[in-house]
Amino acid sequence: MQEHLMTILTFAAGVLSILIVTYGQIINARLKKWSEAKLAEHGLTEAAKWQADLKAGLLTGAKAALLDGKSITEAIKAAITHTLASNADAAAGLRPQPDVLERLATAAVADAAADLAATAANAVKAGAAAGPALDELTTVLHGALTGAGAR
């Protein structure tokens, strides 16, 4: 059991590293350019709030989708849908392009998966007491990475 868990966690960490490295620099550069233009257009306070709202909405949507057993691709779509619905003012104010929003959602899913992997790693350290919760979490992570766990 623990060998399988470590294999799953190693696989998840590898996939997350690839996602983060690949998209991290692109997302940061685009986000910086985009936010600088919006800060100049709307003023620091309003644009900064919108940006934070959009980011929080994406992360919340991503975590909810992964915990619901969605694949990574489905989680990206769900994160976008959630943030557009729950942060309509921010989306209307910033008007992010679809490709920018998809890249931001991809980063949010990577962050959400990393948080779940960290939770699983902490549960492994906790030992047998974490058994059922750890089993459920590894099933969710495996399903998200393979697309096999979609409900």
- Average model confidence (pLDDT) across the chain: 78
pTM assigned to the model: 0.58
Percent of the chain at pLDDT above 90?
26
- Whether 57 has a pLDDT exceeding 90, the answer reads yes
The answer to whether 70 and 78 have CB atoms below 8 angstroms apart is: yes
What is the Cα 61 distance to its own chain's centre? Answer: 8
Q: For the chain, what percentages of helix, strand and coil (3-state, to nearest 5) are there? A: 90, 0, 10
DSSP string, 31-88: HHHHHHHHHHHH-HHHHHHHHHHHHHHHHHHHHHHHHTT--HHHHHHHHHHHHHHHTH
**Segment 89-109, tens digit of pLDDT:** 888 888 999 999 999 999 999
Q: Collapse the DSSP code of 149 into the 3-class scheme (helix H, G, I; strand E, B; otherwise coil) and give the result.
A: coil
